[in-house]
Amino acid sequence: MKLKIVLVLGGLLVGAYMFSSFKAPSQILNSNAEVGNQVGQTAPEIVLTSINGKDMKLSDFRGKMVLIDFWASWCRPCRGENPNVVKAYQNYKEKSFVNGKGFVVFGISLDRTADAWKQAVKADGLVWDSNFLGNQAIAQQYNVQYIPSNFLVNGEGKIIGVNLRGEDLENKLNEQLKK
């Protein structure tokens, strides 16, 4: 009888300990709420191989302003936006921002073939080294519903703008310039 009582009490103590350390699914999600695809959240890590064959991570660019740009060669609105992205890159690549120096484009093509992607990079003058052939998993990680889509990430890795095009991108970059 004493053994049964000890086992029951021991089981209750273990159960109470396990329950006290249990986290509900919402707590687990909220514990990592800083990482996400919304303004104010830390941009999720991306690791891809560049057009030059070099493995690169988004975090390699901490300390710089980064435009994560989802596009594809077959997407007419994307190709129409590329001159604006090239202009912003040329105008801001050497600038000092509030929390970083320099501006880079982390271009992620959602093309199915490398040939189409490489031809579009060349034709549109996307001269930055961080051009990548991406995949649906990365697009889903950022909840990309359509292209072109982009995320402006500051030097601390926080998203500060979403789907900024043309003049809106230039205005946001100007806001972030070091005075």
Confidence bin at 2 (pLDDT 50/70/90): low
3-state SS, residue 51:
coil
**pLDDT (0 to 100) of residue 40:** 94
Whether residues 4 and 62 share a domain: the answer is no
How remote is the C-alpha of 68 from its chain's centroid? 6
Whether residues 12 and 79 share a domain: the answer is no
Whether residues 20 and 62 share a domain: the answer is no
Whether residues 96 and 42 share a domain: the answer is yes
Amino acid at residue number 3: L
The tally of domains found in the chain comes to 2
**Beta strand extents in 22-140 (DSSP E only):** 47-49, 55-57, 65-71, 96-97, 100-101, 103-109, 131-133
Whether residues 112 and 140 share a domain: the answer is yes
**pLDDT (0 to 100) of residue 35:** 83
Whether residues 82 and 19 share a domain: the answer is no
Contact between residue 158 and residue 42 where contact means Cβ atoms under 8 Å apart = yes
Whether residues 98 and 52 share a domain: the answer is yes
Which helix (H) or strand (E) segment holds residue 92: the answer is: helix 76-92
pLDDT at 31 over 60: no
Report the range of poorest mean pLDDT among 6-15, 70-79, 119-128.
Answer: 6-15
Q: What is the CATH number of the domain that holds 50?
A: 3.40.30.10
Instruction: Supply the DSSP symbol for 161.
Output: E
Domain range for residue 142? Answer: 35-176
Whether residues 102 and 19 share a domain: the answer is no
Report the range of poorest mean pLDDT among 8-22, 28-42, 61-75.
Answer: 8-22
Q: Is the peptide bond before 148 cis (omega within 30 degrees of 0)?
A: yes
- In 3-state terms the chain splits into helix, strand, coil percentages (rounded to 5) of 40, 25, 35
Place of tokens 């961080």: 130
Whether residues 47 and 93 share a domain: the answer is yes
pLDDT at 10 over 80: no
Whether residues 25 and 54 share a domain: the answer is no
Mean of the pLDDT values across residues 49-64?
Answer: 95
Could you read off the pLDDT of 83-114 as tens digits, one per residue?
999 999 999 999 999 988 999 999 999 999 99
Whether residues 42 and 5 share a domain: the answer is no
Could you read off the pLDDT of 160-177 as tens digits, one per residue?
999 999 999 999 999 999
**pLDDT (0 to 100) of residue 24:** 32
Whether residues 3 and 61 share a domain: the answer is no
